[in-house]
Structures are given as C-alpha cells and as structure tokens.
Structure 1
Amino acid sequence: MMNYYKIKIIICFCMSKNLLKFLFLLATAVPIFSQKKNSFDLICERTSSVTAYKDLPKAIKTADSLYMRAQQPSEKIQCLILSSELYQHAGELKKAICYSENAHSVINQSSNPEQMAAVTRLLARQYRQVGLYERSKKYIIKGLEASGSITDFQKSNEASGLLNQEMAFYEMEMGNYSNAIRFIESSLKYFERINSRNENRTAAASYQLLGDVYFKLNDYPVSENYYRKAEGLLKVGSCTLGLVYNGLGGIRLKQKNWKDAEVYLKKAEKIADTSRSLTLKKAVYSNINDYYEGTGDNFKASLYAVKYVRTYDSIAARNQSFTMKGTEIAKGKISKKSGQMNGVKNATIVILFISLVGLLLFIRTKQKRQRSKLRNIIRAQLNMISNRSHYPLKQSDGSEFSNISVEEVDEKDSETDRRRNDSLMTSETESKLLELLEDFEKGDLYNNKGMSLSFLAGELNTNTKYLSYVINQHKSADFKSYVNRLRIKYIVDKLINNEKYRQYKISILADECGFSSHSKFAAVFKAVTDYSPSAFIKYLDAGNQSGKSVHFPEND
C-alpha cells in the first residue's frame, strides 16, 4: 500500500513539472512570436540604415526580395517606400517617384494614416527636388491631414514636424520667407514633443533651414545663430552639416572675412565632394567661386565656375529627364511588383503620369509662345540700338568698357587718314571685307578673350587700317564698340532662348562672352541695352510667368 502512494506522488510530481514546463513555454511563446513578426521591420531598417551606405546595389536587391516575401499590404508598402528611398539615395529620382506613387496607390485602399504620412512626405520631397512645387504642396497637405489621424503620440508629432519642414521649403521656393519661418517654428514645436534618436537630426534640419531664410533676408547675426544651433546637433559628415558650413562660409563672404570664409567653405567642400546631393554641391561650388573672385584668383574662380555649371546642368538634365519621360514607369523588377497589383491600380498610375506629362507639355508650349513674344520685343529694341548712328558706349578713357587684353591700335584716325585709306582701298576689297565681317558676326569668334583689331585683321587676311575704316564706315562704331555689341547680342540671345542661362551667375555669363570681369560685362550690358544683366533676366522671367508683353521701366 505504501508503494502505491509513493508511485502516485511521483506521477503527480512529474505531471506538475510537465505542466510548469508547458505554462513556461506558453508564456514565452508570445514574445518569441512577436519577435518573429517584427523581424521584417528589423530587416527593412537594417537595409535602409546600414546596407545602403555600404553597398547600395545590394540594398536595392534586398528590398526587391523583401517585397516578394511580403504577405501583408502594410509590408508591401514598407518595401516600396524602402525601394523609393534607396533609389533617391542613388540619385535616380524618376524610379524613386515611381515606387512612391505605387506605395501611395496601395495605401489609398488600406487607409493607414502612418504610412500615408510617410509616403506623402517622401513624394513631396521628391517632387520638390525635380521642381514640381505645386504637386509637392498637394502631397504635403494630404500628409498633414494623415498625420493628425495617427494614434501614436510620438509618430504623429514626428510626421507633423517633418511635413511642416517640407511646407517651409515650398514657401522658400515661392519667396514667402515669413510663411517659411512660421512653418519651421511649427516643426520645431512638434519635434520638442518627441523623444527619438532622430530628434537631433530633424531639429538640426529646421535650424539650418532657418539659417538659410535669415541669410536670404540679409539678417546675418540671426542666420549665424541658427546655423550654430544646427551645427551643435549634427554628426560629422552629414549632408545638413555641409549646408551649415556653406551657410557660415556665405556669411563670411558677405562680411569679406576671407580667412574664416575659406575655413568653412573647405569643410563644406569636403562633405560635398563625398555626398550624392547635387543641391549641396551646387551651393558649395557657387560660394567657393565667389570666394576666389573676391580674393582675385580668377583661375581658381573659373575652375569652380565650371564645377558649378556642370552640377547645375546635371540637376537640369535630371529634372528634364523626369518631366519629358514621366510616362515611362520603371521596368524590370518594379514590373514584377506591379504585376501583383490589379489592373485598376496600374491604370490609375498610368493615367496619373499621362495627365502630368500632358500638363507639362501644355505649360512648355505656352512658355514658348510667351518667349516668342518677348523675343520680338527685345530684339526690336536691340535692333533700334544697333541702328543708332553713334554707338552709345561711354569712351571717357578709351577702355572703360573694353575687354581687349592684347595689342591696342589707335583707331581715332583723322579725316585725312580715312580719305587716304579709302583711296587706297578698292571697292572690291571693301566689299570682300564686308562679306568677311558678316561671316564673323555669324560665328562666335568675337567671344575670344584675346580679340583685338590686329588679331581680327590677321584672321581676315587684311591690315588694321582697312579693317578699322570698314567698321567705322559701315558698322557706325569703333572696333571695341563693335565687338562688345556682338558679345552682348550673343548673350542676350542665349538668355532669351535658353532658360538655364538665366540661372547662371553674372560672372559666368561674362566669361561666356569673353569679358574678363563681372563689372566690365555689367557696364557694357547696360550701355548696350539700358538695363543691368540682373534686371534684364528678371523681366525675362516676369514675361514668361505673366504671358504679357514686358515693358521695361527705366533701369536706375
């Protein structure tokens, strides 16, 4: 009997032990399951923050494979957002926007405010970078509505802060600096309410943006104060820090503090050269060009002018590529993802891009018509100036507006000398010289910085006296005025027909048409057209925007 009870006790003990094990396994199953559920998020995060910086192509492939493995709509959206961010990091904005639009299309059916806020902010930034500011604003407004519906307090405030930042960028592009300041201050209030590892970086971006706004308002002490705040929150090497150093360098340039300007601009250049950001490169190269112009090193100034122009052209080419080929949705792997969506979603995306391109083509056609009207007005004015009996260049010291750097020849021949030259020159020679000058005017040899009377005489196989006589008699100008007039006509034609020239610095325009300095070019330009280069460009842009004839007021 005793043995029976012993056996029963042992069995109960074993059962209790197994029950405890079972309960333990049941208790730990939930967190283990949760970890497995969250592993997808962890892989996405690791791909975005680590793999992308080490091996971008590998990160893109990882994002593609994650999409194929995704089961839930929210996971698919997460992968599309990840792919968009990676392509944006690679500088392929057209593909990035395609992925973002795909994600936006899926979210519209899932009603996830957190993901809607993330995608709309991404689209707002991407459309801003390609110059489609109104479309960017549309997504900002939609994102702000979504951020108010996010239940998580931290995420709601972070999304609202970032979207207010984007709205500030929009207002800056529109020139509404007071509105920009208001939105930046709102973003900072939202960031103060959150406690995340991104807080410093997001707040620093707002301070850097405030520095830019006050710089444009010429309030340099306030601008520097905000740049310093941003600097204190940023890690070494970040793109935003590059913009901060560039801003501080720009302030020193305005103050003509060349030594400190060089220090900050070197730091900014170091970051820009290793960055993929064309916007940062463009801003830094522009300031360094100004620095070398200010210190009188024209050779280095020209080197950075070339870097600036190349970067500007890269941005323009990227934007043009997007606007002209917006109907093309990226093929290959993205087509596999789109294939899993139904036909209605794909049709919606195609219609969206076709509508966008149609709108852009309409705007471009309208702009061409406006430019044509404006061109006729300006050319009529230039022709009127060209037909004046005396060319209106001030000749007080004989070289004020001249850019002739080689041999100078006295062109102020007496009436007796001119009659003598006339008698020695046959009518055939005079006609031939006029034909050669017409060919000369059709080219761009006059933009040569080494152009002089003796140089051109050598090119035309004649002598300086004959050439000087023909120019004076038939072009109603001396040689210097004649060449400068051709140069200004050349650059005016570029400004009218090619909008990118209106974005160039005045010093670059001067170099393009053979002038050795900004000041000489500006003086000759005003003497020929009656307007300064900046005023001329301003009214060209105003004419394009208004669609009306431009009436130039007197230029003070």
Structure 2
Amino acid sequence: MRYSRAFRILLVYILQLFLMVNMSSQNLSNTYLDSLGYEELLTKFNKYSGDSINLESIARMYLRKARKEGDTIKMARGYDRLARIFKPKVNLIFADSVISLTMKHNHITYPAMGYILKGYNYRLIKDAVNASKNYKKADSIAQIRKNLQQQVHIMQNLISEKITWGNKEDALSLQHSRDRIIKSKTYFNNIKKSTRVNAHIDIKQLYINELLNSNINYIFCHLNLRNYDSTRLYIDKTKELLKEYNWVEKNHYENWIDEVLMELFYYESDYNNSIIQAKKLLDKESRLEPHSRMNVNLFKGLSLIRTGQRKLGITYLKKSDSTVIANEIQLLPNDRKLLVVLKEYYRSIGDAENHISYLNRIVEVDSAMMINYKYFEPNMIRNFETPQLLLEKETLISSLKYRNRKSKILNLGFIFLLLISLLLLVYYIQRQQLYKRRFDKLMQQNETSNYNSSNQYAYELSPEVINNILLKMEGFERSKTFLNHEITLQSLAKLFETNANYLSRVINAKIGKNFSQYINDLRIDYAMTGIRSDKKLRKYTIKAIAEECGYKNAESFSKAFYKRNGIYPSYYIKKLNKADQKN
C-alpha cells in the first residue's frame, strides 16, 4: 500500500479556507472582472475551480489590482492563486514569487503558504528531497506564526516522508504530536474561525475528516512498523468513524481500508484471505486509482505464488507492472518487490532478455531511492544490493553473449547444412530426371544385331578362321556360357580351339569392342532382359542378381550396368515395378 493521503490533504486544507465548486460557463471578460472587488474575485476563483482559463484571468486581475495599490499581501494572494493553476514547474515559479514578496512580513499565512505550495509541487514531480526541505521551512514559519492548520497539513506530509524514506519510529512520534493538536479544543475553534462564512462547509464533517486522516496515519505507521495488532485497532476505529462521515472522499477511505486489510492478511501469512480481499477490490477496479490497481494486483500475485499458484500469480504481477509503466508510477521501497519477483521468475525460466530488463529497472529504481535515503535516512543505503545486482547483470550479459555467439555458430552451421542439403536435393532431382530419360530411351530401343556386317579388318585373317570363330561365338552366346564369372580371353580361346590373339582381333573388328566390354555387354543384356521379363527376379537382391549374371559382387555389376545404361539396376527395377502397377 502506498501513502497517497498527503496529496488529498492539500485539497481538504484549501476547502477549509475557500469554497470550491466546479462550474462550466463562458470565459469571463476583463471588463467584468475589473469591476469586481478583491473578495468578489476570490469568491469567483473558488467557484471556477477546474476552469484554468477563467482561473488565470481572475488571478491575474487580482494581481493587477494589488500591484496598482502596492499591497504586498494581496499581491502574494494573486501569485498564490496562479501557483495552483499550471503544471508543477510553472507553479514553482509563482510560489517563489509568493515567498520573495512576503519573506520579511509577519503574516499568519505567508510566506509559509509559498513553501507549502512548493513542497506540494515538488512531490508531484517525484522530488521528495526538495518537497521535504520546503515543508520544513513552512513548518518553522507556521510554528512561529502559530498557524495550527498549516502545521497540521505540513506534519501530514512530513509523516508520509518519514514513514516512506526515514525512521518509522520518528514518523509515529510525529503522528502522536499531530493527533494531540487535532484533538485539542484550540484546533477545533481555529477551524471555525478560519472557515469563510460564505463557504457553506460542514464544520463537523470537516473535523471528522481530520480525525479519519489521523487514524489513517496511525494505520500506516503501525503497518510499516509491523505492529499488526495496533494496525487492526486503528482499522476498527476508522470503520466506526466512517459511519458518522458523509463528506468528501468517503469511497476512497473505504477502499483504502480494504487495501490495508489485503496487505495485513499477506503480512500475517493469511494468503487466502488476502486473495479474497484483493478480489473484492478488483471487482470495482474501474473506480480504483492507478496506484491502487498496481498495489492490489501486486499483493494478489504475491499471495497466489505463496499458495503454490505461481503461473497465475505471475500473471497478476505482470498486470501490476503494466499499470506502473502505463501510468509512470514512482515505485517506492515497499513496491520494489514487484520487480525483484519478476526478475527472479524470468531468471528461473531462462529468459535472459527479460531478466536483464528487470535487473536494469531495479538498478534504476534503487539509484532514485538512494538519493532520497541519503537525505532522509543515510543508514539505509548500506542495505542496497546495487553492486551485487550490477555484477549479476554483467555475468548474465557475458553468458548471453556467449550463448548468442554459440547460437550464431549453430545457425551458420545449420544454414550451411541446409544449403548442402538443397544442393544435394537439386542434384538428386536432376539425376532422377536423367535416369528417367535414360530408362525411357532403353525401353524404346529395339534389339539389334551385335555384329558388324563389315568385312574390313585391321589385320587380315583367313575367312575360314573368322567364320569358325563367329560360329563358335554364336554358340557361346546361346549357351549363356558368359554367365560363368571365371571366363577369360585365354579360357574362351582355348574353348574355341583358337589362339587368344585371333579371338581378340575378331571381337574387336567384327563387334567393335574389346573382350571385357563384349562379356560385360552380354551379361548386362541378359540381366536387363531377365529383369524386364521376370518379376520374381526383381525381388532378388542386387547381389543375387549380380551372381546370376556372372559377376562376383554387386558393386562390379552395378558399375557395369551404369556404364552401359547410365542408370543403376536398382533404379531400373523400381521404374519397371511402377510401370507394372500403372498397367
């Protein structure tokens, strides 16, 4: 739970002094405004709250009149009103004008109001150090001038700062002092006197509002001090007081109490009730302010994780963080665990990118926190883990770089293998297409005579010798003697009762081949004819077919088949089987 009351208290404090009623109307003319007196201009300013154009016109007219008369306090009131209209950086300039004009004046409101306005605007831009410095200056002046309302308002902000950034026991002690002032008769009478007659403010409800704020301060102090019994005591007191309260921000007070109970259940390890309380708040999520949505999702996520529902819990933590980012919420010390838990989650699942992202955010948040701790509570700085976090970040980045290099090498290797695979695929497809053309050509070829009709020889032999050898070759082919894997030129010449020289010359001259080619062609022709006509033979292994055709092994058969036909016997068989299936 974050402490947002200080921002709302300024609104209530101003309500004590002025009537603030939103109006929508046409722009007020300078002629008309010039006709009004100071009190009428202030009344108009209060009535046109939220209408920045008319507010500026009214404030500048008030300032112009005061300058003409040389009235320093009225000039300060003009700058005071201008310091409430614009963005913080512009408001700060006008607040400085309030201070410089009234620094030497002994006035009950100024220059303390100038410092209050500066403190408020510094808080809006998340500069807690300068906010505190200005509130302290305002407090010292308010005490001298005995302005109780200013003192109470300033103490409210100082309590908030101390409980967030400083010594929590000191914050509780300061709250005791504030509570005593509020419950004094002097303070109640002071409210009556300082409230404008025409403001139409319910003094009783205004006072109950102050008592509610006092109880809330106690709740916040005791919760942060882990005084859970005291926290519950003041929660009960606040609930009773709310029954009498029917004024501004009642819904906010009720939601705030529910939010405190959600956190209290979590700190007491009653995680199921913490989840129930969170659900109750999220059911009216549209009415929750961004920092409350962030906080409710945070504690629901943490409680779910504690009950073993890690995945669902992380989902709520991510919702909480999304609210932080979308609304640029400043993370306070109690909110830091949101980033720590998410960092550890991403570390556990090996998500290095998000792990580093949350490490960076923690270091960034810690750096901002250390500026505040250095001012409010220097001893807290030693509790920060920034060096360890930076070391963890560097280690993780080094590991990630190594993994990225390794991944890059693997990716390059994969790309190389993919390229090789593609090249092989292209080669395979082209080769298959080539085989198919060669197969089709083989299927279209008609059987032709192996013998050359030419009778011209490189070396003259007698016709009787040639005819005798050719007749015996025909018998050799018909008898399939070439299937004998032991046949040689010498053994065949001996079988033909001639010499090897004559046989070689006839084969070469008449057939146009050497002996080895002649035998291989006979065997391959035999194999092709057999494979084409005999489906059973196709079921044989290549080794078995090779042996059937006169080869000693499958390798020499496949090489000879490929050399003759340009395709391998396995492809030839495959295509024949496919052709049969189609038919």
TM-score bin, normalised by smaller chain = 0.3 to 0.5
Larger radius of gyration: 2
Normalization by structure 2: what TM-score?
0.46
